[in-house]
Amino acid sequence: MSALLEIRDLSVTAAHGGPTVVRGVSYTVNRNEILCVVGESGSGKSVTAHAIMGLLPADQLNVTQGRILYGDRDLVGLPAADWYGLRGKCFGMVFQEPMTALNPIMRVGRQVDEVLERHTDLSAAARKQRVLDLFGQVLLPDPQAMYDAYPFQLSGGQRQRVVIAMALALEPDVLIADEPTTALDVTTQAQILGLIKDIQRRMGIGVIFITHDFGVVADIADRIVVMRKGEVVEAGLADDILNRPQHPYTRQLIAAVPHKPEGKDAAAAAAPLMVVEKLCKTFATGGRRVDALRDISLEIRQGETLGLVGESGSGKSTLGRALIGLIPPDRGSVRMEGRELVGMKPRDFRPYRRQIQMVFQDPYASLNPRHRVIEAVAQGPIAFGESRKTALREARELLELVGLGGDAGDRYPHQFSGGQRQRIGIARALALKPRLLVADEAVSALDVSIQAQVLDLLKTVSGQFDLSVLFITHDLRVAAQICDRIAVMRQGQLVELDRAATIFYHPQHEYTRRLIESVPGKSWNKPDLEAQDDPSRSKQYA
Amino acid sequence: MKKIAKFLANRVVKSVLVLLMIALFNFFLVRAAPGDPAEILAGQSGAVDAEFIAKLRQEFGLDKPISTQLGQYLKNVATFDLGYSYRQQAPVASLILQHLPATLLLTLSAFAFALLAGVSLGTQAALRVGKWGDTVITTLSMLAYATPLFWVGLMLVLLFSVNLEWLPAFGYESVGANLTGLARVADVARHLLLPALTLGMFYMAVYARLTRASILEISQLDFVKTARAKGLSERTVIVRHVLRNALLPVITYAGIQAGGLIGGSLLVETVFAWPGIGRLAFDALIQRDYSVLLGVFFMASLIVVVVNLITDILYTVADPRIELK
Amino acid sequence: MKAFMQSFCRNKGGIMGLIVLALVTLMAVTASWIFPDSPWDIINGPFMPPLSEGAMLGTDTLGRDIATGIAYGSRITLVLAAVSTAVSILLGITVGALAGFYGGRVDQAIVGFIELFQTIPSFFLAVVLVAILTPNMGTVIFAIAVVSWPPLARLVRAEFMSLKNREFVQAAMLAGQSNLRIILTQILPNSLSPVIVSGSLMIASSILLESALSFLGLGDPNAMTWGYIIGASRSVLRDAWWMSVFPGVAILLTVLSLNLIGEALNDALNPKLARRRTT
């Protein structure tokens, strides 16, 4: 396997004396292989990829050192005119966001046609035929209709397929895929991953696949490069890195990857805290009706962590918000402590308001940027009549509990990292001493290592305060980490509800099976690193 | 297709409602003002005889209850009867129609100039962002944007008519020249130049700034990166991908500015004695001929409503997302 | 706060604008000391060119000093602009906040109302209002305010609509805070940046509007504003160019400085953090 592309000692610095974002990075990409570049945010993996294609915004980032060798050419400092011949023809790139990757007012077929028009002498008819062929290869339904469609008429998965077709139109040597499946549903992600793997095998191209998800890496990588804070930390064959990681950071990353559920004994069923019966909600916006919730019935038991898993459009978020009182349901019943909460007058609902609290998804939008953090935590108790002095004191204690002691409370949100803000969010939710905590994708926006810490915190806190937690997520692996039972939703309906281990290993419903199938990295048994270091701490897996 | 028709029908209904509101506004304003409505409508300078005022009072039913007055008034407006000007001894509607073509000529020329010059300058500035070309264009835009319309007119007259004597200072065409055909067109054009320039300059600055901002914003979006990754030439990327998307908001905004252009014509026509409805309004103002003033106000609003409708149609055509959203 | 000051000071245009505005304000405040005579006083012969005795910038058709007129005019201009903008802002915030927060029918009604205003040619409306209600300080302020509030209301409405769905507002609702408290303490402080930027630009446009009204003779008859002087100069353009040039320059500089300040505020308050970091 000959080296197709070699990056040698590359450094990229931010303009105007900014920080060095990529430092002395070296790795190679061979023909006919998938190289996965893994790292968390800020690792420089994406900047490096942009540098390979010469797509760094010149007023913000510059290559200050190093070479990128393609064949016998150095791509660093290549004049603009030379790039036109290389891009599209020898290099293809797929970006992360399918929603914004295509020109919104140009037909999709035409956008792929552009690549052919630019680099080949084919006639218009021949080009169209080729585009239709490509659409067939990327498994787009009804290529003829697709050709004339606009991007807004396509789903995220379909758009991504179009982008892939565009990138592969001229059968380039190298395909650079920058987190291409991160914004997609898990089932769509599985399809796209399969597609990329298949095309790579057939065309024998070299693929640079950038991701933060080790599950994906386990599924498709031939070789792996691990990056952290702009540097390459470890590189090697997939099997070696995944199962016998050497560098402490790699080990830390792999340890943080959500693992499969442990075979806990079925706990004695506790009393139900909240009983939901036949809950319904339909949204009607401008003539379109969406049945977000269709006859949902379940119960949340005292002290348990119930996972609510589903893809986009499943209604899981709507259910969370309905239970918490932010969205009034159309029909159905929600009972807590014997009282019916649906249709209750706001004044009667008020005491129940404090019993059910929420931790939100976006750490950057969930705190008022103009209030000090301690104000945010204390605002609930104060609104419910607590004296300001007591509320502030308790708020400080809570912040201490979630690991932000000292004078952290006097600072403003922008002074904290994403993970820290989620901790503040948890402290805020706990301030009213609720009995049910709804965590709506609470860790989805966090890096994997931070994710693990916040999940640990949730676990500790729910045990300590005997809290019930409704854990809403699209990621089954994360749910498996901390949930006792898991409910699977699809298009507004509850499809299956059972113990976590049962859902994972013996799924009953066909959709649940499909979900489990699509989970990336399921065939990879994560090495028990703690056991490797200390055999007495080996965990039992079902 | 049906969706577009429904959308437009909706717009037309809204437009009619707007005109109704304006008519009502005119009606109530006159009655809310200090003084006798009949005198206000007749003109306050006392050069009007009591008989005419009595006749006016009767015709407008000013001694009848408000609801009857309102009914009569709305009926009048619907049949385009906007009252009568004692001063000029003619129905307001016909006065307006007489002066309308001149205003349309002026505003359309100004608009064309503003749009073409503004978009070109804005594009050039965006392509040279950060360099001195950009700074020059942006500074000139800022200056044009901050200058009062009427003062620009006066300064241009001062420079080109008084000092250099290249262009005429006022009017539509040379008085008493009786030119025909091409010579007449050229004469009108000479007279049109300064007023159109004056009216257009402010909006040129507005469109330049808007175009520049829009291009810079669109250039940051992912799909532009995708276009580059395909190996398209920079020129193709800019023209085919960036510009087409960037000009959409400019179109909408241009339509919204129609109201400003009409208002500006009041000032510009006054400065240049251009015989349009703006000038008509100003004369009416001086002579306190409020029937005419209100009539012109109504007409101006009508023009704006029509322009907004046209803009909506154009936008629907330009942006495929609107039709099917 | 500190980051804001630093960012603002880095903007050269903003600093220049601030300096010019400060000078104009200074002129307004000290007018009666530097120019002890009233602008209506006749101090010399008519049509005296600039740099004549006692008239640095010349005299007008009746022999009144232009420089004094400009100095006193600055007072009225600044006061009028500030007051009418303040009224506009108050109106705009109230209307926009109600529409954005409550949504539904309230919002639809308000939006219809705003659209109505924006369809009417605003300058025409101002002219009609002042003309029929008879020109004086009060009606001018009223007319300018009436014409200027819709864009601000639109802006505030958009901000409220987007902030209302932000998670920290939902958290406040869950914490049990009342609607009024949420509007005043959670949403409003976070929506002020565009209002501040608009405020500066609105003062600028109300100066332009006021001077245009005065030019047409619709200003307060007792106020010698810059627009009035230019209006009076129309018929004698050939003979007394200084009557139209200098007041116009004064308007230009003041409006320009406010625009520059507005732009600098915008850059300082809305850093381009919309760019996604490519790492």
Q: Which of B154, B216, B221, B298 to mutate to test the interface with C (most CBs of C within 10 A)?
A: B154
Instruction: With beta carbons under 8 A apart, name residues in chain A contacting B221.
Output: 100
Instruction: With beta carbons under 8 A apart, name residues in chain A contacting C168.
Output: 365-368, 376
Minimum-distance CB partner of C241 among B29, B158, B262: B158
Rounded to the nearest 10 degrees, how much is the dihedral formed by the CA atoms of C211, C217, C220, C221? 140
A308 CB-contact burial (10 Å; exposed 0-12 / middle 13-18 / buried 19+)? buried
Closest-CA distance of chain A to residue C117, Å: 25
Closest-CA distance of chain A to residue C244, Å: 45
Residue-level pLDDT at B289: 80
H helices of B47-174, in order, are 50-59, 66-78, 92-127, 132-146, 149-156
Residue A530's contacts (CB-CB under 8 Å, 6 or more residues apart) are A255, A537, A538, A539
Would the CB atoms of B232 and A80 count as touching at under 8 Å? no
Instruction: With beta carbons under 8 A apart, name residues in chain B contacting A163.
Output: 226
Q: In this complex, is the C-beta atom of C167 within 8 Å of any C-beta atom belonging to chain A?
A: yes
Minimum-distance CB partner of C176 among A50, A350, A428: A350
Tell me the average pLDDT across A517-530: 82
Q: How far apart are the first and last CA of chain C?
A: 29
What does each of the 325 residues of chain B score in pLDDT, given as a tens digit? 677 778 778 888 888 888 888 888 888 877 776 666 666 666 654 555 677 677 766 666 666 677 777 777 777 777 777 777 767 778 888 888 889 999 999 999 999 999 999 999 999 999 888 888 898 999 999 999 999 999 999 888 888 887 777 777 777 777 776 777 788 888 888 888 889 999 999 999 999 999 999 999 898 888 998 998 888 888 889 888 999 889 888 877 887 787 788 888 999 999 888 999 999 999 888 887 888 888 888 888 888 888 888 888 877 777 777 654 4
CB-facing half-sphere around the CA of C260: CA atoms within 13 A = 23
Q: Which helix (H) or strand (E) is B314 found in, with range? A: helix B290-318
Q: In this complex, is the C-beta atom of C128 within 8 Å of any C-beta atom belonging to chain B?
A: yes
Q: In this complex, is the C-beta atom of A75 within 8 Å of any C-beta atom belonging to chain B?
A: no
SS3 at position A268: coil
Q: In this complex, is the C-beta atom of C168 within 8 Å of any C-beta atom belonging to chain A?
A: yes
Closest-CA distance of chain B to residue C235, Å: 10
The C-alpha atoms of residue B98 and residue A78 are separated, in whole angstroms, by 66
Search chain A and give the residue with CA nearest B230: A88
Tell me which of A49-63, A482-496, B53-67, B293-307 is least confident: B53-67
Angle ∠(A66,A250,A44) on CA atoms, nearest 5: 35
Search chain B and give the residue with CA nearest A163: B226
Instruction: With beta carbons under 8 A apart, name residues in chain B contacting A105.
Output: 244-245, 248, 318-321
Q: In this complex, is the C-beta atom of A277 within 8 Å of any C-beta atom belonging to chain C?
A: no
The C-alpha atoms of residue A311 and residue A305 are separated, in whole angstroms, by 20
Q: Which residue has the tokens 């969010």?
A: A425
The C-alpha atoms of residue C237 and residue B236 are separated, in whole angstroms, by 51
Residue-level pLDDT at B231: 87
Would the CB atoms of B230 and A106 count as touching at under 8 Å? no
Would the CB atoms of C132 and B29 count as touching at under 8 Å? yes
Minimum-distance CB partner of B262 among C121, C129, C237: C121
Q: Which of B167, B182, B250 is nearest to B213 (CA)?
A: B250
Instruction: With beta carbons under 8 A apart, name residues in chain B contacting A102.
Output: 223, 226
Rounded to the nearest 10 degrees, how much is the dihedral formed by the CA atoms of B262, B268, B270, B273? -110
Pairwise pLDDT comparison (A258 vs A28), residue with the higher score: A28
Tell me the average pLDDT across C252-269: 88
For chain C, what's the residue count? 279
Whole-angstrom CA distances from A62 to A48, B145, B224 are 11, 37, 19
Would the CB atoms of A87 and B229 count as touching at under 8 Å? yes
Instruction: With beta carbons under 8 A apart, name residues in chain B contacting C133.
Output: 32-34
The C-alpha atoms of residue C95 and residue C116 are separated, in whole angstroms, by 14
Whole-angstrom CA distances from B117 to A383, A424, B111, B123 are 57, 53, 10, 10
Tokens of A348: 């009667």
Search chain A and give the residue with CA nearest C189: A370
* Structure confidence at residue A57 as a pLDDT band (50, 70, 90): confident
Taking phi over 0 as left and psi of -120 to 50 as alpha, with beta for the rest, A205 belongs to beta
The C-alpha atoms of residue A257 and residue A247 are separated, in whole angstroms, by 16
Would the CB atoms of C123 and B142 count as touching at under 8 Å? no
Would the CB atoms of C176 and A361 count as touching at under 8 Å? no
What chains are in contact with B, requiring at least 3 Cβ pairs below 8 Å? A, C
Closest-CA distance of chain C to residue B163, Å: 9
Residue-level pLDDT at B61: 62
* Structure confidence at residue A364 as a pLDDT band (50, 70, 90): confident
Instruction: With beta carbons under 8 A apart, name residues in chain A contacting C173.
Output: 326
Instruction: With beta carbons under 8 A apart, name residues in chain C contacting A367.
Output: 168, 171
Search chain A and give the residue with CA nearest C188: A370
Would the CB atoms of C171 and A44 count as touching at under 8 Å? no
Residue-level pLDDT at C275: 34
Q: DSSP labels for A375-433?
A: HHHHHHHHHTT--HHHHHHHHHHHHHHTT--TTGGGS-GGGS-HHHHHHHHHHHHHHT-
Q: Which helix (H) or strand (E) is A324 found in, with range? A: helix A316-324
Residue-level pLDDT at C206: 94
pLDDT tens across A123-168, in order? Answer: 999 999 999 999 998 989 889 998 999 998 888 889 999 999 999 9
H helices of A77-170, in order, are 80-86, 108-119, 124-137, 143-147, 156-168
Q: What is the mean pLDDT of chain C?
A: 85
Would the CB atoms of B264 and C133 count as touching at under 8 Å? no
Minimum-distance CB partner of C279 among A44, A362, A384: A44
pLDDT tens across A403-447, in order? Answer: 888 888 899 998 898 889 999 999 999 999 999 999 999 998 888
Would the CB atoms of B155 and C204 count as touching at under 8 Å? no
Minimum-distance CB partner of A85 among B231, B241, B318: B231
Closest-CA distance of chain B to residue C256, Å: 5
* Structure confidence at residue C279 as a pLDDT band (50, 70, 90): very low
Residue A411 one-letter amino acid: R
Residue-level pLDDT at C277: 34
Search chain C and give the residue with CA nearest B36: C132
Instruction: With beta carbons under 8 A apart, name residues in chain A contacting C190.
Output: 368-370
Residue-level pLDDT at A1: 47
Q: In this complex, is the C-beta atom of C260 within 8 Å of any C-beta atom belonging to chain B?
A: yes
Would the CB atoms of A370 and C278 count as touching at under 8 Å? no
pLDDT at A223 over 90: yes
Instruction: With beta carbons under 8 A apart, name residues in chain A contacting C182.
Output: none
Minimum-distance CB partner of C174 among A44, A56, A324: A324
pLDDT tens across C81-122, in order? Answer: 999 999 999 999 999 999 999 888 889 889 988 888 888 888
pLDDT at A221 over 80: yes
Q: In this complex, is the C-beta atom of A122 within 8 Å of any C-beta atom belonging to chain B?
A: no
pLDDT at A542 over 80: no
Instruction: State residue A135 phi and psi, 5-degree precision.
Output: -60, -40
Q: In this complex, is the C-beta atom of A115 within 8 Å of any C-beta atom belonging to chain B?
A: yes
Provide the ipTM: 0.84
Pairwise pLDDT comparison (A7 vs C10), residue with the higher score: A7
Tell me the average pLDDT across C9-21: 83
SS3 at position C44: coil
Residue-level pLDDT at C86: 95
Q: In this complex, is the C-beta atom of A114 within 8 Å of any C-beta atom belonging to chain B?
A: yes
Search chain C and give the residue with CA nearest A421: C168
Tell me which of A31-35, A498-502, B114-118, B164-168 is least confident: B164-168
Tell me which of A261-265, C42-46, C60-64, C228-232 is least confident: A261-265
Search chain A and give the residue with CA nearest B241: A103
Interior/surface letters A214-245, b for 16+ CB within 10 angstroms, e for the rest: bbbbbbbbbbbbbbbbbbbbbbbebeebbeeb
Residue-level pLDDT at A393: 92
Q: What is the mean pLDDT of chain A?
A: 88
Minimum-distance CB partner of A104 among B130, B228, B321: B321
Tell me which of A84-93, A465-474, C24-33, C72-81 is least confident: C24-33
pLDDT tens across A225-264, in order? Answer: 999 999 999 999 999 999 999 999 999 888 888 877 765 5
Residue-level pLDDT at C276: 33
The C-alpha atoms of residue A61 and residue B108 are separated, in whole angstroms, by 46
pLDDT at C33 over 90: no
Would the CB atoms of B290 and C122 count as touching at under 8 Å? no
Of chain A, the percentage scoring pLDDT greater than 70 comes to 96
Whole-angstrom CA distances from B246 to B78, B231, B249, C272 are 41, 21, 7, 18
Neighbours of A441 (CB within 10 A): 19
Would the CB atoms of A379 and C190 count as touching at under 8 Å? no
